[in-house]
Every structure is written in structure tokens, then in C-alpha cells.
Amino acid sequence: MTQAKLENLNIESLTSMATPEEIHNLLPLTDQAATTVLQGRETLQRILDRQDPRIFVVVGPCSIHDPVAGLDYARRLKKLADEVSETLVLVMRVYFEKPRTSTGWKGYINDPYMDDSFRIEEGMKKAREFLLQVNELGLPAATEALDPISPQYLGDLISWTAIGARTSESQTHREMSSGLSTPVGFKNATDGDLDVAINAIISAANPHSFLGINAQGKTSIVRTRGNRYGHTVLRGGGGRPNYDSVSISLAEQALAKAKLAQNLVVDCSHANSYKKPEMQPLVINDCAQQIIHGNRSIIGLMIESNIEAGNQPIPADHTQLKYGCSVTDACIDWPTTETALRNFHQALQAVLPKRNT
């Protein structure tokens, strides 16, 4: 019996991929981008350590599919970020990888041309180029870590990382998070279970050893120190929100019982808005009221926002795509985003300076 009859029975082909080092050399980190990343990470760490009273807001498209519209959005967000910087730290949501319940477009890296051609190497280069452009504006970037190899290609351009509801329970993603250079937000499970996120924070704070790749693309044993900047993201679950004051109090108690910092990020989308994007401003306002009335655990928000409201299917003729409109989850539009964040900023101006005292 030959080896060919035992291995790769369902593999059609294997194609070599450029190494992280090669793609870094092709699209090197600039001084301006490096400064943005470092300042972004340090600011987020200070917020988590309660040395900076501001709230950070991860805001942007559900996913990036058009880099021109994405950069248009980034320029608008940078202008708003400067305006509200007294109270808010705006971080652009730059998601290139999309987990799918069954099938569907898996994101810009996997299929950058949205035509099932799966030119992954081109997608990785385009993703890195986009992140460079965002950071060169002085705007820090956030992403979801889905593929454990991608951080080797893009991690030097990320200031905050999310681990999604479907992967917070994954040992692979907990191990990977223990070695990431950014603060990491773990979402509660899709059924609302908070223990999954709490266990993930504990796991990621500890050292791990696992298989990965190095900058030269060689399979390596990765040994991590542990990441002490893990925290919880409340995204609702089981069809119900969990950002209300009672749910927040229960989350605080669960974190205290686990001897973890009571740092909570509220995802204003998903079950917290019943998957109705137009309800996200209501969640933002509710969080503002909780903070005004003494809440100390809400240190961040997540918002799905784009230039245009709603979402759209991916047409066969891409010229029919609506500019600045999501092809994944529906978003609020830019005017709604501006209004919601300005209102949030104004509501908290008198409160935040006294919050950590």
C-alpha cells in the first residue's frame, strides 16, 4: 500500500504561500504606522489598567471588501476621533476574516475579488497594504483573529484584537491570544454563556506552547509568555441582550469571583441590538447612562458602522455594488455614527475625569 492512498485524500492541491517575512519586506512597516500602533496599544493598555479614564470604541464596517470605500471611511473616522479625543479613543474595526455558520464569503483575505477565485496570497498583501494606509492616517486598527497564521503577516499593524463568540472556547485561539502583542477582547458564547470568555481570559494570561510558523514560514514550536490584557466583550446571546445594568452587574460579579479585572466591552451589535443595526445608538445611550450613574466596568464599545446603512448581497456584476455598504452584517450609516459618538462624547465629558478616582 502506497502512502498516496493514505494521505491528502480530500486535498485537491497545495500551493506555496509567500512567507510573512517576504510580505513584510514587500510592504514594510513605516515609521508613522509603527508610531500609531505603539501609541494605540499603549493607550488601550492604560485604559484597561485604569490609568486613562477614557472609553475606547472599536467602530467600523462589519468587514472590509472595498479598500477605496474603507479608506474613505477611515479618513472620516480619523477626523471624528480627533474631535472626541477628550473622552473617546476611536479604533477602526478592520475585519478581513469572516466566520461562516455554513457557507458564504469568508472575507477579503480568503477571496479578495469576491468571485470564488480564492487568491489568498493577493488577499494577504492587499490586507496588509490597507492596514498600512489606515495606520499612516494616525488611526489605530482592530481586527478579529480567526486564522492562527494571519497574525504573523499582519500582527504588527493591529492595536486591538477580538476573539469571536464561536472561537472564544477554542484552545487554538486561546493559545494564540496568549502570544498576541495586543489587548484581546473575548466575546461571550453565542448562547450568552459568559464562562467561555472568562475561561479564555484565564487561559490566555498563562504561557502556552503550540505549533505555528515563524517569519520564514517554517513550522515552529511557539512558546508564549501569556497576555495579561485579556478582557470580556458582551455581545448578547441566545437572542437576548446582555448590556443592561443587571447583566453588567452579573458580569462584574463573575469576573470578581474569577479574580479578574472588571473590564467590560459592550458590543452594540449582534444580539445586543437584536441584529437590527438601527438599534445600536440605543445601546450606546444606555451605556452612557450607566456610566453617568456610577458604572465603572464599561471601558469600551464595539459598533458596526459604514458609509451607507444596511447591507447588500454580492452580485455577479460587481459594478452593481453600492459604494460604502456592507456585504456582511448590516451597519448604521456615517451620519448616524457621527451623531451617536458625538452624543456619547458630550454625555461623558463631565463624568470620566472623576471615574477612576
pLDDT band at 216 (very low <50, low <70, confident <90, very high): very high
pLDDT per residue as tens digits for the range 251-263: 999 999 999 999 9
Q: Are 128 and 141 in contact (CB under 8 A)?
A: no
Give 38's pLDDT tier (boundaries 50, 70, 90).
very high
The whole-angstrom separation of Cα 34 and Cα 2 is: 51
**Residue in 168, 150, 166, 167 with CA at minimum distance from that of residue 158:** 150
Q: How far apart are CA 194 and CA 250, in angstroms?
A: 10
Question: The cell 443595526 sits on which residue?
Answer: 277
User: Which amino acid makes up residue 99?
Assistant: P
In angstroms, rounded to a whole number, what is the distance separating the alpha carbons of residues 241 and 275? 10
For residue range 91-134, what is the model confidence (pLDDT) as tens digits? Answer: 999 999 877 655 688 899 999 999 999 999 999 999 999 999 99
pTM of the model: 0.96
Indicate whether 2 pLDDT > 90.
Answer: no
Q: How far apart are CA 20 and CA 155, in angstroms?
A: 10
- Cβ–Cβ < 8 Å for 134, 92: yes
What would the pLDDT profile of 284-333 be if each residue is shown by its tens digit? 999 999 999 999 999 999 999 999 999 999 999 999 999 999 999 999 99
Question: Which DSSP string do the residues of 125-151 spell out, in sequence order?
Answer: HHHHHHHHHHHHTT--EEEE--STTHH
CA-wise closest residue to 234 among 332, 168, 306, 143: 168
What backbone torsions phi and psi does residue 225 show, to the nearest 5 degrees?
A: -90, -20
- CATH of the structural domain 18-324+336-354, one choice from 3.20.20.70, 3.40.30.10, 1.10.10.10, 3.40.50.2000: 3.20.20.70
Domain ranges, ordered by start, for the chain: 18-324+336-354
